[in-house]
Structure 1
């Protein structure tokens, strides 16, 4: 019964989150943009003009993604301009087949190649590809190419105007949605951490879940940075944006703090087995923090309705009592618990800071972040022409993808002509939507597209058999289209189902023979999906293993730079520099990219998953290394520490050298290994961080807190340095044994 209730609650939450999402609001906007020109065209008896303007709005819409308003409008205008240019050229493509095929291939290649400039550029590129495919349809055949191109431009500008209007009416919508989503995902992350503490749980599955959540969080962090930092830079100092930026900073810190939990679960298992109440209290604290973040997420836009909750304080006090009531002396277990308690205490402070910022505090008390400093955290895309030249070879994944897409669209169009398919451009449409630079993504999309189309076709048949009402068809066509666009990023299978329904009902309004439309739609989709999969499998395949070396180099390098910033802070103390924060952000982003690359590799054919066990080991080593860095940095930043010793710097330098060795191996450079084994460093550990630290007589009498702090520092730094050194030595060894 409880499981059923939980399923219902989760379903309602998902539904609520869906309707409040930017995907849904953008789909509603697109529905308006597409419907109004057609209705006006019908009213004034110029339907062909209305349809062409609608196509222009549709072609501009893909680049309408979350981010700064400046980037969004620039993307929309460039997409409109490209669509106009391609539509104009496409108007003259009704040539001899001998000329048509090479021109089609060349245009497909160069339009697709634009995506070398990043995600937003890939969406602009998609608008161009879609414009080219639609130029093969029989829409607006009675117009001159320049007239069609101008009307598409008007449609694009119409969509830009609607997008600006939405931004003006709901200026905070994107910020609130993504900040709320970050709160929920951070809550999920903490909850999973809480489940990991229990020995009986499936830790391998939970760790995968944790990595997936971390990857999603890192991606959303990037989107929020773009929205918040660019908005502040464009509109000047805003209390709202400033406070939201500070809340975002707390959430970024919370992710690092969460990663700083002990990575050696065997020790916590042994400890909590002896004291199960401590396990219950630590887990209860994590769950209470997770629940509180979800509550804050729900009331983010209405903070006055946020009621005070004492659950976190209660669990924190219990944990404190568990730790400080012990009479075991300064044992490793007790020191580990003290450090763990301090981490959780810092997490609680972050949550309290978020609630304080939402409570409308006095402006003078808020430590706003300067826009100039914040700009350093934006990931800037390089748009130099040299990028096009550098990637114009078969080593580039995007180059191979563009070449593959160009070839397969020519083959697809030829298949459509040879087999007298009703709408050959539907095959091309399926190809440009499904084909992705990597095989795994293409295979997944092909499968989901085919299943979605079959489901959509079956539903369309059922509805057409039930009713012949054209008004119903019109309503269902628009509704299906809105749902389809809102589901593209969330559930591609569902999106394919609704796009099929929309296409069928649109044709049902224009043609009485709707069952033929359904048949051809399904046939063309299957042909297109099959060609897309075969193309990625046979033509210049871009197996993940080929690009994994570069991903690993960037990950190891980012971890090394992050470590060097931590070493610099431990030596110099003082305020945390922006260089440290940028290095931390880069390390998290690169780890996220590595996790995504490994996931894509698991979707490839078994014959191409070369050394997948070794790759998984390397990925987990890097993840554990980053978690250990987070643990070390969190402690030294949030606690007073002793001066860094010469031995600390010696060991830290050795770890850096090991990482440099790993980078050299990955870059296929000739390396000479002269590093001694870590066992020779044991005396340095003992001399600096060993158990031979004894309190003075005065400290014994006064039960000095300073001495306890010194012991805690020595214990944590020793444990993390040992972990880091061990992993830094293992990474080059595993890399040497791995063939890329």
Structure 2
């Protein structure tokens, strides 16, 4: 148990999420320290807020896409801050301004995942505009420093991009190994029918969704940069492994096992099916071992026990034919032969991945030219017509933007009517938990409630010095905000 716990900690410390969190923390803390030293803390706090807002748009992808995303997030946060802070002193001006801004910023999520995180940055900027209100020229100065914070984070992200990208690719391949192994393992469980079939099929569907997202991210990371200059040995290794992983998944999806037929023919003769199921589980275990080797950067241990398992499967087919006799055994034997062909093909694919691990230096040069690589990437269309096509209640993003706008206006109205302290906390909660899907919104609501209760318990802890208690609360509240935002981004 302790070993597994230490392994999880080690995996977390090697993850790209940890490196990014260190980068964001550095980007936030440095301006605060400079502000304290120069006695201009309010201005430098605005820079930290700019880092906090724009960091959400820094998701895996090419340097070009990341840079554009960060700049757009910084621009939206700056403009939203100026507009809301200028209108906050007139309720008749503020309400329509908020409605237009919230809906417009939410609506840009139609352009995909990165756009949805840029939208999230803009919505957070609207919320934080209520926390510290300025007047006159201070409005533009504060917004300018938020924009500078975005540029400061862009600089950090550009400097650390090679290190972050390497970890993102390694983590993506590790996840791909693990998800594919689990996919193959669940297919084996379905053949046994030892668990609820509908639950297993739902798991398969979820795994396919996660695998598709992981593949798309890896395609962009592996195929958008350094194509014209070729691949290093390490880069070549990653591309070869990725290609084989896609083949393994496609082979598994293209050979759907007839589970009902297996259960019908071998319900009382599972001993003939067991060698095949054991081989499926061992293939998935082998992929888990590859995932561990990829994650730790170590060598992959040799295994010589998989080929003998293929021979046991052949012997099982012969034993089944001898016991049941032809022609009655024909249907079952044909089913087992098809299953054996599928497993042999999967084993060959796994051996191909093993050869990449064992002997990278002797691999032929593998690479794709820039034009060829683009064929394997789903290019996001940013045509203005997409906005027009989705401008109806048939679009889930349009409905989500409308719901979010109404909810935030109602939340602000309730907080203002009852003169609640820190009304913007209501808006923050709405932004964090409301998603286009009801299920995800429900889950976030529960997690937000748990986080609020834990944060309240910590902030109410007794402090001997009242001033320390004030500082403690002021320190914890931003952490709760940041934790909520980070958790929602991960989901």
TM-score (norm 1): 0.61
C-alpha displacement of 1:84 = 1.6
Taking a change above 3 Å as real, the CA distance of residues 446 and 302 of structure 1, as seen in their structure-2 partners, is closer
Q: Tell me which residue corresponds to 1:168.
A: 162
Change (3 A) 1:479 1:463: farther
Matches of 1:463 and 1:367 in 2, distance apart? Answer: 63
Matched, 1:216 2:241: no
Kept in 1, the 8 Å contact 2:444–2:488? The answer is no
Partner of 2:372: 373
Shift of 1:129: 1.7
Partner of 1:452: 451
Structure-1 residue corresponding to 2:342:
343
In 2, Cα distance between the equivalents of 1:290 and 1:177? 18
Deviations 1:350-391 (A, max 9, x none): 111111112233455355455433321211211111112222
Shift of 1:396: 2.5
Matched, 1:434 2:428: no
- Aligned partners of 1:26, 1:303: CA distance in 2, in Å? 20
In structure 2, C-alpha distance between the alignment counterparts of 1:111 and 1:130, rounded to whole Å: 11
1:134 match: 128
1:31 maps to what in 2? 25
Alpha-carbon distance in 1 for matches of 2:119, 2:192: 48
Does residue 286 (structure 1) correspond to residue 292 (structure 2)? The answer is no
Question: Given the alignment, which residue of 178, 199, 202 partners 1:205?
Answer: 199
Deviates more, 1:168-177 or 1:318-327: 318-327
Counterpart of 1:263 in structure 2 is: 257
Where 2:392 maps in the other structure, the secondary structure is coil
2:36 equivalent among 37, 42, 52: 42
- Aligned mates of 1:427, 1:122 — CA distance in 2: 21
Q: Which has the higher mean CA deviation after the structures are superposed, 351-360 or 165-174? A: 165-174
Q: What is the deviation of 1:235? A: 5.7
Q: Structure 2 length normalisation: TM-score? A: 0.89
Residues 1:51 and 1:234: Cα distance change in structure 2 (over 3 Å): farther
Give the CA deviation at 1:218.
1.7
Which residue does 2:60 correspond to in 1?
66
Aligned to 2:188: 194
CA separation of 1:220 and 1:260: change in aligned 2, threshold 3 A: same
Over residues 450-479 of structure 1, what are the superposed CA-to-partner deviations in whole Å (9 max), with x where a residue is unaligned?
Answer: 232122212332375899478877887787
Q: Distance in 1 between matches of 2:194 and 2:465?
A: 53
Q: Deviations over 1:293-328 (max 9, x none)?
A: 111111115665221012322322221332356555
- Residues of 2 paired with 1:483 and 1:313: CA distance? 49
Counterpart CA distance in 2 for 1:155 and 1:284 is 55
Counterpart of 2:273 in 1: which secondary structure?
Answer: helix
Residue 320 of structure 1 is matched in structure 2 by 314
- Given that 2:57 and 2:69 are in contact with CA atoms closer than 8 Å, whether structure 1 keeps it comes out as yes
Preserved CA contact (<8 Å) 1:323 1:334: yes
Q: Which has the higher contact order (CA 8 A, sep 6+)?
A: 2
Aligned partners of 1:481, 1:405: CA distance in 2, in Å? Answer: 19
Number of residue pairs matched by the alignment: 485
- In structure 2, do the counterparts of structure 1 residues 78 and 262 end up closer, same or farther at CA, with 3 Å as the change threshold? closer
**How big is each residue's C-alpha offset from its partner over 1:125-150, in whole Å with a ceiling of 9 and x where there is no partner?**
12112112222222666962221122
> Which residue of 1 is the match for residue 89 of structure 2?
95
- Any stretches of 5+ residues in structure 2 without a counterpart? none
> Following superposition of structure 1 onto structure 2, how do residues 587-626 of structure 1 map, counting pairs within 5 Å?
none
Q: Post-superposition shift, 1:483?
A: 5.8
Of 79, 87, 91 in structure 2, the residue corresponding to residue 85 of structure 1 is 79
* Contact 1:35–1:478, Cα closer than 8 Å, also in 2: no
- Separation of aligned partners in 2, 1:459 and 1:179: 38
Q: List alignment gaps of at least 5 residues for structure 1.
A: 493-740
- Does the alignment pair 1:182 with 2:181? no
What is the Cα deviation at residue 171 of structure 1? 4.0
Q: Kindly report the root-mean-square deviation, in angstroms, between the aligned alpha carbons of the 2 structures.
A: 2.9
Q: Secondary structure at the match of 2:452?
A: helix
Give the Å deviation of 1:45: 1.3
Match of 1:119 in 2: 113
Answer with 1 or 2: which has the greater Rg: 1
- Aligned-residue offset at 1:214: 2.0
User: Alpha-carbon deviation of 1:333?
Assistant: 1.8
Provide the C-alpha distance between the structure 2 equivalents of 1:473 and 1:130, rounded to a whole number of angstroms. 21
- Is the CA contact 1:27–1:486 (under 8 Å) kept in the aligned structure 2? no
SS at match of 1:172: helix
